[in-house]
Amino acid sequence: MILTAENYYSQEANREYLSVSQYKDFCGSLGKIPCEAQALAKLNGEWEMEETTSMLVGSYVDAHFEGTLDIFRAKHPEIFTKGGQLKAEYRKAEEIINRVERDEYFMKYMSGQKQVIMTGEIGGAPWKIKIDSYLPGICIVDLKVMKAIRETFWCHDAGYMDFVQYWGYDIQGAVYQEIVRQNTGEKLPFYIAAASKEKEPDIEIIHIDDTHLFEKLTEVESNAAKIVALKENDYEPIRCERCDYCKHTKILTAPIHYSELMTDI
Ligand SMILES: [Zn+2]
């Protein structure tokens, strides 16, 4: 299957290729509980995730830099009020765009080829990636819009975490770097071009070092076979019993003890 902008997110493409978001569905990140059952239900078209405003704001900013904002606006009438004005969240997105566009250094990183699709193989499985800004021979850049760049997240086992590790953007960096290497023979540095939705938007270019990416790639390689086996229905997916899919499909058969209510996930 040849991937294009039109079919990249299709169910057919998701079934044939692994992607970073699919990987996180199956294996989680520090901040995301994995749910094999939900991940498979999504792939089989039995469960749909609702698109959050936060995701849509990210896509709005991506579309701006790709030069496809007109198409995006036409496809998403829900971003406008009844009076035809942009809703507050998207006016904020406009403000963020204006903020990063007046930073020359930030814009250098955003000057690459946009939404570049590549495929490759990791851990014996085919993968697809889509790069926000690709500067051939120089670097790979992913644009992230978030609540706050320096926000920290509490993890039971790991203590306080930065957003990069919490949301598994280091996993994304590892996969992107490896797939680009397979396509071009060059191992390029990975950067996150980050901008916040705070009252006064904050901006940073964040580097994730190759040593850390290598660690993450090793992790991905060792998990890929399991995902392929699950996608081929080789064994029963594990239910997390926490996500909306598990809540929706659970069938009670016995009471639980009250002390189980506080068991850690
Ligand atoms: Zn679940």
Query: pLDDT at residue 265 above 70?
Result: no
**C-alpha distances in Å from residue 78, one per residue of 54, 71, 84, 94, 180:** 13, 14, 10, 16, 35
Q: Domain for residue 62, yes or no?
A: no
Burial 148-183 (b: 16+ CB within 10 A, else e): ebeeeeeeeeeeebbbbbbbbbbbbbbbbbbbbeee
* Residue 20 placed within a domain: yes
Domain assignment of residue 167, yes or no: yes
Query: Cβ(128)–Cβ(181) under 8 Å?
Result: no
Task: Summarize pLDDT for 202-212 with one digit per residue, the tens.
Answer: 999 999 999 99
CB atoms within 10 A of CB 128: 22
Residues written for the chain: 265
- Any idea what the CATH number is for the domain that residue 206 is in? 3.90.320.10
How many whole angstroms separate alpha carbon 148 and alpha carbon 109?
A: 20
Residues with CB under 5 A from ligand 1 (ion): 35, 38, 240, 243, 246
pLDDT of the residue at 264: 62
How far is the C-alpha of 85 from the C-alpha of 49, rounded, in Å? Answer: 27
Q: How far is the CA of 243 from the centre of ligand 1 (A)?
A: 4
Give the distance (Å) from ligand 1 centre to CA of residue 237. Answer: 10
Residue 55 lies in a domain: no
* Residues 204-245: tens digit of each pLDDT: 999 999 999 999 999 999 999 999 999 999 999 999 999 999
Evaluate whether 175 touches 181 at the Cβ level (below 8 Å). Answer: no
pLDDT of res. 168: 96
d(CA 47, CA 56): 19
When the pLDDT of each residue in the chain is averaged and rounded to a whole number, the result is 95
**The tokens of 134 are what?**
């690709």
Q: Per the domain annotation, does 65 fall within a domain?
A: no
**91 within a domain of the structure (yes/no):** no
Q: Output the CA 45–ligand 1 centroid distance in Å.
A: 15
Structural domain span for residue 119: 11-50+103-262
Residue 233 lies in a domain: yes
In a domain, 145, yes or no: yes
Ligand 1 mean position, distance from CA 180 (Å): 32
* Number of domains within the chain: 1
